[in-house]
Structure 1
């Protein structure tokens, strides 16, 4: 029995798009899964194209992401017009064009992702490999490397392994056999000490005040929890706070919101059994802004201006209260 699925057709199709005359930019919304996937695709493209770079649309401030970039030497840069102008071909990993307005501006030739497919926003690219059942895009790229007989070097294997670990939450979220197989396979080549060093770099000391706000504003809505963190310097802190509250006993879902860059950002987390967080996000937003994700993890973003003067916390309380038809009470 083969360790991974055979990708002969996909590999042939992908390689047919690569030319020695082309300059490729791999675009990401940087997080561990995206960073690891981009580094793997860069390895595949290297020596087959004229040049290949990595550009991220977001500001990277999470300590673990910064540690990952530093220790694993991931050459990513902020996506700005001057960077885009240097390239004539574009690839997208761990995301789809409709996920962000910045992504919609580019014409992608390659899209590799594991997020759910949107019927309203089909991916149109010469090469598109989207597998929603997979726990991580890093698993998909590991399969490509294996099928192409490319043995991942230490730093690349560590990046891919850490990406799988983060997106599956160490296999607490939904995953398939391929995710576990990739994790085990990469373990032979990865650096465990680097993995531990990166995983221990999760918090800025300055972020502790957001935990204080979240605890103060924490409310019980039905069986779930909601906390609004007010204005935040980086929406990544909302993800960390939400993941923390998922550890509370007998709480099937958590919603944490905050305002960053004039946008209401909402993070949804669930146990994957009682509620589908992706559907919950879409239902609550009801077409206002962008919303979507997986059964256990989702995200929504709405321009504050679209709230027409309503306080963001009150807006969320109304939406959550209507959706749950339950009494809202402080903890």
Structure 2
């Protein structure tokens, strides 16, 4: 976590009788019914708790955090949602504003003011900002990672979205989500499953159907159509002029970008091209190389490829069809660090495709 976060009151989950490993916890929660899982979750908290819910802000995480806040309302003293990343993508800003999801930047939070900590849609090793907090609760759907623990862990990689998991928590609690919360959860599932084109579970479909009856379609349309700023159109021009294609794969390096989310927008655009199986888009944001992977998931696994190419240089990983890597420029090979181009990106990736 950044230095401005007060870490003097760091909580030790092992004192609460936590499981031996997150992997073990994940197996245990799978054997519980939704009501049993809800009961175990709520037992973590006391009436005078001040709860910090930590996320890396995206639609699934924001919706799920809003659901956690609803679950804990009237059960604890306070719930604050904090995100470690800067929210710049237009859709996410629209979702935050239209669906009234109050959030603060994690770097401005004084951790000592909180008594319980919840991590949603992520795991501690996923980012240094997340790793310095000892969590009481971790709820996620990414593959289980090692080297951490928590008293309550619910990780279900077979789910397409954490929003589906939190919808089940709400149903188990007999809480009918209000329109804004239902719309947020619906959109979170829609985005993280990529309109159910990614591998999902039957539970994702059931939750999606359940929420559909309660959403505001006009609000959803406003959020979904808020894709891009006019000032960002130049990146499409750069991408079209500099892209390289090789064996049904598209490679683009956009150079320095003012917002790394434009890489996602461009990657999703190119992923719609017929006969293209993989799209890899990179750009420089600050002193980091950010790389977005999109893959049809048929022969290749985007998450595994991202980890193979960039895992030793920085953070990298994701799902079969979508992945992300963030690498400090100083960690790149000497030649690549001096002048990174689309050809550099292609060479780095191709070495790991054999």
* Structure 2 CA distance for aligned equivalents of residues 194 and 232 of structure 1: 29
Q: Compute the TM-score of the two structures, normalised by the length of structure 1.
A: 0.93
Please name the residue that 1:253 is paired with.
278
Contact 1:304 1:312 in 2 (8 A): no
Please name the residue that 2:295 is paired with.
270
| Aligned with 2:310 (options 274, 282, 285) | 285
> Does residue 243 in structure 1 map to residue 268 in structure 2?
yes
* Structure 2 CA distance for aligned equivalents of residues 238 and 178 of structure 1: 31
The CA deviation at 1:96 is 0.8
The CA deviation at 1:174 is 1.7
| Aligned with 1:23 (options 36, 42, 50) | 50
Contact 1:264 1:312 in 2 (8 A): no
Mapping of 1:49-198 within 5 angstroms?
Answer: 49-118=76-145, 121-198=146-223
Q: What whole-Å deviation, never above 9, does each CA across 1:117-149 have from its counterpart, x for those lacking one?
A: 23xx34411111011111111000001111111
The CA deviation at 1:316 is 2.0
Q: Compute the TM-score of the two structures, normalised by the length of structure 2.
A: 0.87
Mapping of 1:304-315 within 5 angstroms?
Answer: 304-307=329-332, 308=334, 309-313=337-341, 314-315=343-344
Q: What whole-Å deviation, never above 9, does each CA across 1:258-310 have from its counterpart, x for those lacking one?
A: 11121101111111111011111111125111111100011111100112444
* Structure 1 CA distance for aligned equivalents of residues 295 and 125 of structure 2: 24
> Does residue 215 in structure 1 map to residue 243 in structure 2?
no
- Deviation larger for 125-134 or 79-88: 79-88
The CA deviation at 1:45 is 0.9
Structure 1 gap ranges (5+): 326-331
Q: CA RMSD in A?
A: 1.4
Contact 2:82 2:105 in 1 (8 A): yes
Contact 1:6 1:147 in 2 (8 A): no
* Structure 2 CA distance for aligned equivalents of residues 45 and 274 of structure 1: 43
* Structure 1 CA distance for aligned equivalents of residues 241 and 344 of structure 2: 18
Secondary structure (helix, strand or coil) at the match of 1:73 reads coil
* Structure 1 CA distance for aligned equivalents of residues 42 and 149 of structure 2: 18
* Structure 2 CA distance for aligned equivalents of residues 195 and 34 of structure 1: 17
The CA deviation at 1:81 is 4.1
Please name the residue that 2:351 is paired with.
322
* Structure 2 CA distance for aligned equivalents of residues 29 and 63 of structure 1: 16
Contact 2:45 2:116 in 1 (8 A): no
The CA deviation at 1:196 is 0.7
Contact 2:309 2:348 in 1 (8 A): yes
* Structure 1 CA distance for aligned equivalents of residues 229 and 110 of structure 2: 29
The CA deviation at 1:13 is 1.2
Count of residues in correspondence between the two structures: 319
Please name the residue that 1:329 is paired with.
none
